Amino acid sequence: MIKNLRWPIHFLFGLLLLFITGESFAQDNLVKGQVLNEIDQPVAGISIKVKGTTTGTVSDGLGHFAIRASVNDILVFSAVGFKTQEATVVSGKEITVKMMMDMTGLNEVVVIGYGTQKRSNLTSAVSSVSGETLDKVAANNPVNALQGRVAGLSVSSPGGNPGQASDVRLRGIGTFGVHQPLYIIDGVPGDPYYLSSNDVASVEVLKDGAAASIYGSNSANGVILITTKKGKKGAPIIDFSGFYSTVTPTEKYKFLDAEGYKKVHTQMYTNAGALPADFPAYLTKNTGVNTDWQDLINRRGVSQNYNIGLSGGSDYLTYALSGDLTDDKGTFIGSKFNKKSIKSRNDFTKGILNVSSNIVYTETVSEAAKFDVKDSYFQSPLLPVFDNNEQYGYALTVDGLPKFQNPIGIDHFLDANSKTRYLAGSIKLNLKLYKGLSYTANLSYINAQTDDYEHSPSFRANANDPAVSFPRVFNRTSNYKERLMEHLLNYDLNIDKHSFKLVAGYTAQEKTNKFLSATVDGKTIVRTVVNGNIVETEVPAGFSNPDFNTITAGIGGTFNAAGSNNKYVRLSTLARLNYAYDDKYLLQVSVRRDGSSIFGEDRRYGVFPSVSAGWNISKETFLKDVSWLTNLKLRASYGELGNEGALGYYDHQALITTINNWSGGYVQGSGSTPWPGSASYTLLNRDLQWETLKSKNLGLDFGLFNNSLKGSINYYNNVTDGLLITKEVPPSAGLLDPILNVGKISNKGLELEANYQFTKNDWRFDLGGTFSLLKNKVISLANPDQVLFGTGLRFGTDHIPTQTTVGREIGAFYLYEANGLFQSDAEAANYKNAAGDPLQPDAVAGDVRFRDANNDGVINEKDKTYQGSGFAKYEYGFNIGVTFKNFDLSLFWQGVGGNKIYNGNRFELEGMDAGRNFLATTLSAWTPQNTNTSMPRAVLGDPNTNTRESTRFLENGAYLRLKLVQLGYTLPNEVLKKMKFSRLRVYLSGQNLVTFTKYTGLDPEVGTFSALDTGVDRMLYPQNKRLLAGVQLTF
């Protein structure tokens, strides 16, 4: 029987072998081709499969592919964001497929906390910015490129200083502490300022509580997720990009020239009746000198960036390596910034195992202007740069005038820089344990070391002061380390129309921060006790090398050292459940429990829950016949987020300070030596806990006309409770003011994001915009009458224009009300209170009239009234992109409105202080012959305090700025093939070219000095205009 079966078995085996062999021969044709987009640029990552089989591949970074298929087989080309295309295999012919964008975007995947999700199933407020968008902005980090791109995200620079970090606020300010968002780079915390924009694939901004609460106590200020580029399967690809730009300030001040200076100062002294005897000689001593100090300290800056990348991969391993160089020379002499970085990302997938690794190493060197910019502006134009000996000094000035240091000399003599070495590495392991169940482990490490150095040799500051400055050397080394370990379980389950996604995990994070600094001055301090008082006298140290430039070379001088070593630990557990029924009805619930070493044992742990729901209305049957409606989804969410950024490492503890012999020691008896001691200076506070942000969000996502027009609308109401605020205690307590959880702040707003795309023949149009409204309000402080003052414009405690009070915005303007100028002495004398007493007894003709706002008969601090806020009531941005064949044009506008700016420049530069130079506007100062003016009289000493913090200096802060215009050209494919390139694009670009504003200062983008000082212009480094040329090359 078995023998009888041999023949059929042999026959069937031979037939099967023949079939397999025939199939192998049939598919032994290697089909090659290339995938392009609508404008004939290569597209990587497109899936190519032989229809009806499992044979497949993907296009490489140049869009090329190779696959085995038979003649007349159909190849299927597909990818998220593109319409599926098909092509028939023709013998001996390569295939070129043009992929068309799929506007519906229903399968678009976005990155969220600890995972990804289809955009159509999102139930929270998440905004995305593509890496292609960031590539168009010549920014030295990806954060600076986000300005105006995301509704509700405010990105401003405290100045245009090279390498300066931006101030970032998401949906207002809800704390007096750190208000910067949390940055997550490829799944782990990181610092984007050490990352190149060229390495970024996408940015997601988690805006509401439901999206961000999975990050718990780190997330109250929002979360920004950055995903870097990774390699794709295929042959190695080299990408190069570079630009070179010239940089100039957007505006310059108009100062008095020599003749204007003489005129205004003569008026100033004459009106004060205090003309110095030697002043006329001073005015004529340097005849012909007309020094433009502003022009001398400014220059045309240069900025350049070059990035080269290598990427590719096999079936199991993909890699992406890059190197980046940024070199900026600022517009102030001596200011510059240099950044060098290398990055590596590797992804390995084999069966159930996936391993991903990231390493970034960055070195930066920054040098700010070494002179005081404000003092440089004060310099008299009558003073030459060099004295008669060609040294950095100047001719004798009037005795008693301020002795400002020569900024050109300071730049020559001083040496100061800051060097940082930043290393960040992470490894992620994902293991598929069972159907739908996987385990993920994340390990990351950050080490950042910064070395600050300052050296000032001995030199003579100015001719009036014969004293020579003491040499000085300062060194500071700070080191920051961060370690993170995470263990996560993910489970996906689909039952009929029910879909469940669960993530649960444990994280442990440790941070250490330490520094050591040392200072040596070429002087010694002789201390004596006279009548029980300590008297200190500085004398030269007298070593052989008076211009030492190292700490050790300064031994024998005055040595001071300081240091600290702090550690912080956070332990957390987290869980999130996503549920969808038929992709119509959506629910997300999450919770995170954080434990922080910053708090005492009784308040160490905090729980941060969230819940959100969504309804895909467009999937309901009653809308199936509405052809123009592609997507309509309603969302609602509530979440609680934590913040500890207002606290230091030891604020909950009772601390003791030591007092050394000479700085506060007690003298016991006449002439005896002071003794050291110690004293308590903070109270124990076991009840300190997290600030808690309670976030509510209602959103609507829409897509019309096959998603050619799509966008979202969000309304939010965020309330920060348990605000950490200092509460005053009587001075007799001998303690620092304690920090308590006693405040509450509200931020409410409306956000709109919309984009419209369409293609016709060789034209493609991309139009987009963002718009946001914001209302910030302080609900409560330590007590109803508490006032938190901002930082004064002079010495930090004088001329304070902002106050934080209950019922108003953080850092609102409280100012005297200026009400014109007195036109005669009699008018000033007759400005009286009800009792007949002069309200401004020192005022005369030409002085400012201030209103007695509370009608108490006295003009004083109580007459300061609310005058608005530096918070923009609305912000907006819109972009216009046009592509015609191989040409592309992009314009991006950004603006704000409804905000005020306190022009501190005018306060400083119209201040009538002796010896200073002023703005040219002071030429219009009031005189009996020039009464039709708003500029008060020029008078030394300002007896009427015309420059007090008043509405005189408050201006409209609205602006509209052309942030970016770029024209590019991409070489055609037929040309590129001859050049052996895959892509070559050249472009010209400009940044900050045009600004429309009523603000009279240099720049309406004044940035934020602190949360309590929003909208105060402090004469910081202005924004810059950039003109640049660049190239992007792939081969």
Can you give the pLDDT at residue 471? 78
* Residue ranges covered by each domain of the chain: 23-98, 817-863
- pLDDT of 849 over the 70 cut: yes
pLDDT band per the 50, 70, 90 thresholds, residue 101: confident
pLDDT (average), residues 363-380: 89
| Token pair for 618 | 């467009």
Give kind and range of the element (H or E) at residue 700: strand 691-704
Can you give the pLDDT at residue 672? 53
For the segment 931-982, what is each residue's pLDDT rounded down to a tens digit?
999 999 999 989 999 999 999 999 999 999 999 999 999 998 888 888 888 8
Report angle CA 724, 729, 734 to the nearest 5 degrees: 115
Could you tell me if 49 and 87 are in contact, meaning their C-beta atoms sit under 8 angstroms apart?
no
Can you give the pLDDT at residue 8? 40
Minimal CA–CA distance to 773: which of 124, 205, 152, 167? 152
Give kind and range of the element (H or E) at residue 26: helix 2-26
For the segment 603-634, what is each residue's pLDDT rounded down to a tens digit?
899 999 999 999 999 999 999 889 999 999 99
pLDDT band per the 50, 70, 90 thresholds, residue 4: very low
What burial letters (b/e) apply to 999-1020, b meaning 16+ CB within 10 Å? bbbbbbbbbbbebbbbbbbbbb
Could you tell me if 654 and 625 are in contact, meaning their C-beta atoms sit under 8 angstroms apart?
no
Per DSSP, the residues of 366-417 read EE--SS-HHHHHHS-TTS-SS-TTSSS------TTS-----HHHHHHH-EEE
What percent of the chain clears pLDDT 70, i.e. is strictly above it? 88
Can you give the pLDDT at residue 468? 56
Could you tell me if 114 and 488 are in contact, meaning their C-beta atoms sit under 8 angstroms apart?
yes
Range in 519-528, 590-599, 688-697 with the lowest mean pLDDT:
519-528
- pLDDT of 527 over the 70 cut: no
E strand segments, 622-682? 629-643, 656-659, 677-680
CA–CA gap between residue 645 and residue 508 (Å, rounded) = 18
Can you give the pLDDT at residue 418? 94
CA–CA gap between residue 251 and residue 920 (Å, rounded) = 15
CA–CA gap between residue 615 and residue 114 (Å, rounded) = 23
Helix (H), strand (E), coil (C) string for 844-900? CCCCEEECCCCCCCCCCHHHCEECCCCCCCEEEEEEEEEEECCEEEEEEEEEEECCE
Can you give the pLDDT at residue 1? 41
CA–CA gap between residue 588 and residue 697 (Å, rounded) = 14
CA–CA gap between residue 249 and residue 1022 (Å, rounded) = 7
What percent of the chain clears pLDDT 90, i.e. is strictly above it? 57
Can you give the pLDDT at residue 315? 86
Range in 256-265, 656-665, 826-835 with the lowest mean pLDDT:
656-665
Range in 227-241, 826-840, 1004-1018 with the lowest mean pLDDT:
1004-1018
Report helix, strand or coil for 840: coil
Position with higher pLDDT, 539 vs 186? 186
Minimal CA–CA distance to 140: which of 49, 243, 63, 226? 243
585: Cβ contacts below 8 Å, ≥ 6 apart: 613, 614, 615, 616
Q: What is the mean pLDDT of the chain?
A: 87
Question: Quick one: how far is CA 916 from the chain centroid?
Answer: 35
Position with higher pLDDT, 112 vs 20? 112
Can you give the pLDDT at residue 391? 58
20: Cβ contacts below 8 Å, ≥ 6 apart: none
pLDDT band per the 50, 70, 90 thresholds, residue 10: very low
Instruction: Provide the residue count of the chain.
Output: 1035
Position with higher pLDDT, 592 vs 468? 592
Identify the DSSP state of 793: T
Can you give the pLDDT at residue 576? 97
CATH of 23-98, one of 3.40.50.800, 2.60.40.1120, 2.40.50.140, 1.10.10.10: 2.60.40.1120
Give kind and range of the element (H or E) at residue 284: helix 279-285
Range in 62-76, 515-529, 542-556, 614-628 with the lowest mean pLDDT:
542-556
pLDDT band per the 50, 70, 90 thresholds, residue 666: low
Distances (CA, A) of 597 to 188, 653, 689, 726, 739: 20, 12, 11, 21, 17
Q: What are phi and psi of 908, to 5 degrees?
A: -75, -40
| Token pair for 878 | 């819109």
Could you tell me if 943 and 842 are in contact, meaning their C-beta atoms sit under 8 angstroms apart?
yes
Report helix, strand or coil for 330: coil
Question: What are residue 792's DSSP bridge partners?
Answer: 796
Can you give the pLDDT at residue 22? 38
- pLDDT of 540 over the 70 cut: no
pLDDT band per the 50, 70, 90 thresholds, residue 671: low
pLDDT (average), residues 104-110: 69
Minimal CA–CA distance to 102: which of 87, 135, 80? 80
CA–CA gap between residue 509 and residue 249 (Å, rounded) = 43
| Token pair for 105 | 């975007």
Strand 900-903 vs strand 1016-1017: parallel, antiparallel, or unpaired? parallel
Give kind and range of the element (H or E) at residue 19: helix 2-26
Position with higher pLDDT, 597 vs 83? 597
pLDDT band per the 50, 70, 90 thresholds, residue 460: low
Can you give the pLDDT at residue 53? 85
Minimal CA–CA distance to 598: which of 560, 563, 646? 646
Using left for φ > 0, alpha for ψ between -120 and 50, and beta otherwise, residue 628 falls in alpha
Can you give the pLDDT at residue 400? 53
pLDDT band per the 50, 70, 90 thresholds, residue 539: low
pLDDT band per the 50, 70, 90 thresholds, residue 79: confident
Can you give the pLDDT at residue 11? 39
- pLDDT of 461 over the 60 cut: no
For the segment 321-361, what is each residue's pLDDT rounded down to a tens digit?
999 999 999 999 999 999 999 999 999 999 999 999 999 99
Report helix, strand or coil for 544: coil
Can you give the pLDDT at residue 538? 63
pLDDT (average), residues 878-893: 94
